[in-house]
Amino acid sequence: MTLMNVFDMFDFDSDGLLSRNEYSAFAIATADTPPDDEEWQLLTSQFDARDEALTMVGFLFMHECEAFSGDDLAVPDIWESLYRLGYDSNLQLQYVSFCIREFFFALHHITAYN
């Protein structure tokens, strides 16, 4: 349920998809780097996607694959991402960063002119 809420948090236009810009906002908010062209192509080809954007099913499966990848750092990394988004160890949202939407619109404005 928590990851579904995270998906909704970054689905700024409420179309049921995470566009590249929306996913980039998620990546930056969780201290990751936005995907480059090759990484985005890989994500949208390996996980459920439509119109070059990740579906919620794809987003959830991506995290499931990461959690069960065998990488000892994968689960701690997922927790760290959740903490950065305002969740506590009981998966309760403690605070929301109000700059998330503003950041998305700034990012969208920047990429629209590049």
Higher-scoring residue by pLDDT: 13, 100:
13
Residue-level pLDDT at 32: 84
- Mean pLDDT in the chain? 88
Element (H, E) at 18: strand 17-18
Residue-level pLDDT at 114: 41
Taking 3-state DSSP, the helix, strand and coil percentages for the chain, each rounded to the nearest 5, stand at 60, 10, 35
Report the predicted TM-score, pTM, of the whole model to 2 decimal places.
0.83
Q: Which residue intervals of 30-95 are DSSP H helices?
A: 37-46, 56-67, 74-84
**Cα distance between residue 78 and residue 102, in whole Å:** 24
Question: Which top CATH class is 2-112?
Answer: mainly alpha
Q: Percent of the chain having pLDDT more than 70?
A: 84
Q: For CA atoms 37, 43, 46, 47, give the dihedral sign.
A: negative
Cβ distance 87 to 93 under 8 Å? yes
